[in-house]
Amino acid sequence: MTMDDWTPNSWTSKPIKQDVLYGDPQGLQSALTKLGKLPPLVTTQEITSLKESLRNVALGKAFVLQGGDCAELFDYCNQDMIEAKVKLLLQMSLVLIWGANRPVVRIARIAGQFAKPRSSPMEVIDGVEMPSFRGDNINGFPASPESRKPDPSRLVSAYFHSAATLNYLRASLSSGLADLHSPLDWGLGHVITPSIKEKYEHIVNRVKDALRFMQTVGIDTDRGVETVDVYTSHEGLLLEYEQSLTRLLKNPSSAATASTTTATTDHNNHNPQHSNPLASYYATSAHFIWIGDRTRQLDGAHVEFFRGIVNPIGIKIGPSMTPSDLTHLLDVVNPTREVGKVTLISRYGASKIADYLPAHIAAVQASGHIPVWQCDPMHGNTQSTPSGVKTRHFSDILSELKQALEIHRAAGSFLGGMHLELTGEAVTECVGGAAGLTEEGLGERYTTFCDPRLNEKQALELAFLVAGFYRDMDEKDESASPL
């Protein structure tokens, strides 16, 4: 398998999981044609900047914080909800910078995280069988056969909701939302736990003292304290959508001008990516997209599509992944062994991580690949209450993260980040944490349309605890040093 046989639509010749069957082929083609003519949502320069940052993460020089909704709804495209998520990521990253003493790369599950894989394409509600809700870019949540019918026009709606979200995100950041001169202005929203507030305010005061010192000595000239990069991401589940937004674009480092074209034309007999080395194929729906645990088959359509794009990509790995399949998969999607090109997002569960992660680390180390290792402590720890409500226990989430840190440290590897489902809203979906949310309290504000998310205070508390783990490890290393 070589890149010479890859085209943006070569995935259509492969078996596919989690595909969507539309009853309106003409409507689908119309939507895809429209998407193929629209501008990219992100730029090649932004994608390249993220790749450089993730290379540093893979080498242990930085930490990546990725988080956001399990599944976005179009209704989430509003000022308050966008700001709440971004402010929470900014607060968490400030805490992690303090604890891990490394730069933090911020990637939001936003502006495109609409589709979700489901265990069954159909479900029965009130005795009526209907398609499962697959996400706002596929069908509607209201429980009726008509609402649940896949609608291809939703693909175009997804683009414009993503574009509006990105527009406000960029405008907010460039207008000073992330200014480190006033991190208290980010607010603590629904965080009412005194200990968390005190810890956060302590860090803020340390930052403000440092900035005052920089200003006093005349080195407060770097706009890096006034804004940050926040990248976008989603699971690349709908390949028709991803292909329609894949573009052959000039590489940012190229001095010469290369032609620009969409990937919706026929490239079966010609692959310009190799005839024109100044240009490459970029998935412009987001800066970072990932392959889910249900769609990472070696001979499958998703792996075929992902192996041809320049973007940094993620792969979810769980207990069903064998070490040999993992290294084979890395060889397929990253044959040149580009450092940090692939992020391995492990999702085992607190009770299983010790059984699987060490062998996966050893296999990757032996293969010569240097990926970003990221822990997703959410998906392997999902469970249901006796009444059938899906939830996650804060203690399990924390346990998997702590074990991941310790296992990587023992193996001479580096846990480069964490991947969380969270929201800046005061939801009650995960039990535990300092506020002591119980299963009986889940119904107070359980608003997710898919999986349970950490609320603001739980997410910030988790950031403090992970930061504490790093500080403890660094102190142990210092005390063990002979110098």
Per-residue confidence (pLDDT) for residue 482, from 0 to 100: 60
- Structural domain contains residue 188: no
Question: What's the structural domain count of the chain?
Answer: 1
Instruction: Find out whether 421 is annotated in a ligand binding site.
Output: yes
Q: Rounded distance, CA 477 to CA 159, Å?
A: 48
Kindly report the CATH number assigned to the domain that includes residue 458: 3.20.20.70
Of 284, 363, 289, 358, which is closest to residue 331 (Cα–Cα)? 363
Instruction: Find out whether 347 is annotated in a ligand binding site.
Output: yes
Residue 462 φ/ψ, nearest 5 degrees: -60, -40
- Structural domain contains residue 197: no
List pLDDT tens digits, range 126-135.
Answer: 999 999 999 9
Q: Within the chain, which residues score under 50 in pLDDT? A: 184, 190-191, 221, 255-274
Q: Rounded distance, CA 390 to CA 174, Å?
A: 38
- Name the token pair of 431: 């039990």
330-361: b (≥16 Cβ within 10 Å) or e: bbebbeeebbbbbbbbbbbbbebbeebbbebb
- Structural domain contains residue 185: no
- Structural domain contains residue 195: no
Please enumerate in sequence order all residues whose Cβ is within 8 A of that of 43, keeping only pairs 6 or more positions apart, or say none.
284
Per-residue confidence (pLDDT) for residue 119, from 0 to 100: 87
- Structural domain contains residue 268: no
Beta bridge partners of 419: 66
Per-residue confidence (pLDDT) for residue 259, from 0 to 100: 42
- Structural domain contains residue 267: no
Please enumerate in sequence order all residues whose Cβ is within 8 A of that of 44, keeping only pairs 6 or more positions apart, or say none.
249, 250, 251, 252, 282
- Structural domain contains residue 269: no
Domain hosting residue 384, numbered range: 3-178+227-252+280-480
Per-residue confidence (pLDDT) for residue 371, from 0 to 100: 98
Q: Rounded distance, CA 285 to CA 110, Å?
A: 11
Instruction: Find out whether 451 is annotated in a ligand binding site.
Output: yes
Per-residue confidence (pLDDT) for residue 94, from 0 to 100: 85
pTM recorded for the entire structure: 0.90
Per-residue confidence (pLDDT) for residue 449, from 0 to 100: 86
Of 170, 198, 189, 171, which is closest to residue 84 (Cα–Cα)? 189
Instruction: Find out whether 106 is annotated in a ligand binding site.
Output: no
8 Å CB contact between 89 and 108: yes
Q: Rounded distance, CA 405 to CA 398, Å?
A: 11
List pLDDT tens digits, range 432-464.
Answer: 998 889 999 999 999 998 899 999 889 988 998
DSSP 177-227: TT-TT-GGGG--TT---HHHHHHHHHHHHHHHHHHHHHHHTT-TT-GGGT-
Per-residue confidence (pLDDT) for residue 272, from 0 to 100: 42
- Structural domain contains residue 200: no
8 Å CB contact between 474 and 101: yes
- Name the token pair of 322: 């064998």
Instruction: Find out whether 70 is annotated in a ligand binding site.
Output: yes
8 Å CB contact between 145 and 128: yes
Per-residue confidence (pLDDT) for residue 473, from 0 to 100: 77
